[in-house]
């Protein structure tokens, strides 16, 4: 039977397909409800599909996002199947406005898959940002870390397998599996809250590993609701909020002229540190203001469809990683 629901060919193309993230993780869009048209319909509380021009829908979607009129985008929902290391799940689960059902380590045997950072991601502790990394550690340290990870993880896995063989309850057998162990869940969220998640987790301040997930999910949103995605990139991901002090600083340098132009104010070519401090900006805020003014890179967020895998092949891979139990 043909569906009467609105579908999007771009989203249909990836529905149920699995995209690798990190070494053993994945994200799959398993279902979605609605698209940009539904955002518009909800905003107008209007009747029927397809009565408006796409340019009008685009204008409205962009207006809504600019003005933070967010409830219409709650009418679109997306459901994902994701696998991620536990330390990433812990950051992800902080987003409370989603529905989650996680793989049960009490009920099921855990696939013994552990995340191993690649050398290019094996960064040293950042000196400027306590929650971050900077230059990559040397290869020798990474190689030693890999050999220590391997030893530790095979011991944790062997211990888990031994407990399971001894028929110890799975809820106890799992307690010493490391945070690098992969877990998985179904995650359902509406478009408004998903874009909020992506704003925080596709941002350079987020840990690189969760960003890797956010970027794949952003590629999926681009296919489900391309106009909402575009507005999110323009006004949120690629945009910035300005404080009163920052706006005042810009106002000293620029002025609106004529109907539709902005010009450099006469006699103003620069605001130095003391001038910015006089406007109330702390030295950290001055750095952040300077960062906001650097032109950002336009994100790509295109999914590589040649790497899309079937549910069956992912399921077989997971099954192979579960310890064998002889009944």
Ligand X SMILES: Cc1cc2nc3c(=O)[nH]c(=O)nc-3n(C[C@H](O)[C@H](O)[C@H](O)COP(=O)(O)OP(=O)(O)OC[C@H]3O[C@@H](n4cnc5c(N)ncnc54)[C@H](O)[C@@H]3O)c2cc1C
Does 196 contact ligand X by CB under 6 A?
yes
Does 200 contact ligand X by CB under 6 A?
yes
Burial profile 184-222: b = 16 or more Cβ within 10 angstroms, e = fewer: bbbbbbbbbbbbbbbbebbeeebeebbbbbbbbbbbbbb
In the complex, the smallest distance separating the C-beta of residue 210 from ligand X, rounded to whole angstroms, is 8
Binding positions for ligand X, 74-93, rule CB under 6 A: none
Q: Which of 139, 205, 265, 320 binds ligand X (CB under 6 A)?
A: 205
* Per-residue mark of binding to ligand X, 218-247 (x: CB under 6 A): ------------------------------
Tokens representing 240 are: 């910035």
Q: Which of 46, 51, 71, 97 binds ligand X (CB under 6 A)?
A: 97
- Residue count, binding to ligand X (CB under 6 A): 10
Tokens representing 80 are: 């994902």
* Residue whose C-beta lies closest to ligand X: 96
In the complex, the smallest distance separating the C-beta of residue 80 from ligand X, rounded to whole angstroms, is 15
In the complex, the smallest distance separating the C-beta of residue 92 from ligand X, rounded to whole angstroms, is 9
How far is CA 242 from each of CA 60, 239, 247, 284, rounded to the nearest angstrom? 24, 10, 6, 14
Q: Which is nearer to ligand X, 174 or 201 (CB)?
A: 201
Q: Which of 52, 79, 95, 309 binds ligand X (CB under 6 A)?
A: 95
Does 70 contact ligand X by CB under 6 A?
no
Distance between CA 62 and CA 65 in Å, rounded? Answer: 5
In the complex, the smallest distance separating the C-beta of residue 48 from ligand X, rounded to whole angstroms, is 32
The sheet with strand 98-102 has its strands ordered as 18-21, 25-33, 77-85, 182-190, 98-102
Distance between CA 185 and CA 105 in Å, rounded? Answer: 12
Q: Which of 53, 67, 68, 94 binds ligand X (CB under 6 A)?
A: 94
In the complex, the smallest distance separating the C-beta of residue 327 from ligand X, rounded to whole angstroms, is 42
Q: Which is nearer to ligand X, 110 or 202 (CB)?
A: 202
- 3-state SS assignment for residue 184: strand
Distance between CA 154 and CA 146 in Å, rounded? Answer: 12
Q: Which of 96, 127, 140, 284 binds ligand X (CB under 6 A)?
A: 96
Q: Which is nearer to ligand X, 24 or 65 (CB)?
A: 65
In the complex, the smallest distance separating the C-beta of residue 268 from ligand X, rounded to whole angstroms, is 35
In the complex, the smallest distance separating the C-beta of residue 200 from ligand X, rounded to whole angstroms, is 4
Distance between CA 178 and CA 43 in Å, rounded? Answer: 46
* Per-residue mark of binding to ligand X, 155-194 (x: CB under 6 A): --------------------------------------x-
Q: Which is nearer to ligand X, 194 or 249 (CB)?
A: 194
Q: Which residues sit opposite 33 in a β-bridge?
A: 77
How far is CA 272 from each of CA 75, 98, 131, 280, 295, rounded to the nearest angstrom? 47, 45, 29, 13, 20
Pairing of the two strands 77-85 and 182-190: antiparallel
Q: Are 298 and 238 in contact (CB under 8 A)?
A: yes
* Per-residue mark of binding to ligand X, 120-159 (x: CB under 6 A): -----------x----------------------------
Residues sharing a CB contact under 8 Å with residue 151, sequence separation 6 or more, in sequence order: none
The candidate with the shortest Cα–Cα distance to 216, out of 309, 295, 136, is: 309
Distance between CA 291 and CA 285 in Å, rounded? Answer: 10
Q: Catalytic amino acids?
A: 201
Question: Where do contacts with ligand X occur on this chain (CB under 6 A)?
Answer: 94-97, 131, 193, 196, 200, 205-206
């Amino acid at each position: 039977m043909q569906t009467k629901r609105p579908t999007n060919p771009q989203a249909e193309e990836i529905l149920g397909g699995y995209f690798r993230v990190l070494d053993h993780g994945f994200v799959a869009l398993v279902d979605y409800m609605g698209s940009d048209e539904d955002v518009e319909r909800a905003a107008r509380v209007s009747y029927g599909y397809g009565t408006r021009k796409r340019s009008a829908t685009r204008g409205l979607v962009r207006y809504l996002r600019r003005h933070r009129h967010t409830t219409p985008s709650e009418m679109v929902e997306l459901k994902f199947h994701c696998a991620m290391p536990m330390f990433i799940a812990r950051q992800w689960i902080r987003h409370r406005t989603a529905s989650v059902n996680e793989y049960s380590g009490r009920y099921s045997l855990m696939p013994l898959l552990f995340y191993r950072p690649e050398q290019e991601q094996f960064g040293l502790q950042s000196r400027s940002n306590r929650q971050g990394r900077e230059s990559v550690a040397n290869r020798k340290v990474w190689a030693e870390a890999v050999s220590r990870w391997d030893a530790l993880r095979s011991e944790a896995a062997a211990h888990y397998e031994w407990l399971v063989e001894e028929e110890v309850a799975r809820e106890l057998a799992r307690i010493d599996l490391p945070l690098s162990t992969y877990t998985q869940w179904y995650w359902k969220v509406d478009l408004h809250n998903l874009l909020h998640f992506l704003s925080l987790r596709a941002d350079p301040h987020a840990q690189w590993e969760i960003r890797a997930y956010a970027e794949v999910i952003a590629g999926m949103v681009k296919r489900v609701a391309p106009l909402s995605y575009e507005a999110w990139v323009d006004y949120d991901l690629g945009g910035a909020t300005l404080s009163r002090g920052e706006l005042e600083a810009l106002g000293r340098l620029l002025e609106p002229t004529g109907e539709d132009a902005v010009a450099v104010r006469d006699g103003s070519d620069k605001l130095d540190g003391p001038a910015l401090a006089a406007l109330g900006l702390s030295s950290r805020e001055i750095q952040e203001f300077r960062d906001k003014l650097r032109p950002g890179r336009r994100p790509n967020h295109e999914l590589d469809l040649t790497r899309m895998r079937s549910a069956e092949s992912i399921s077989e891979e997971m099954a192979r990683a579960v310890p064998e139990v002889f009944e």
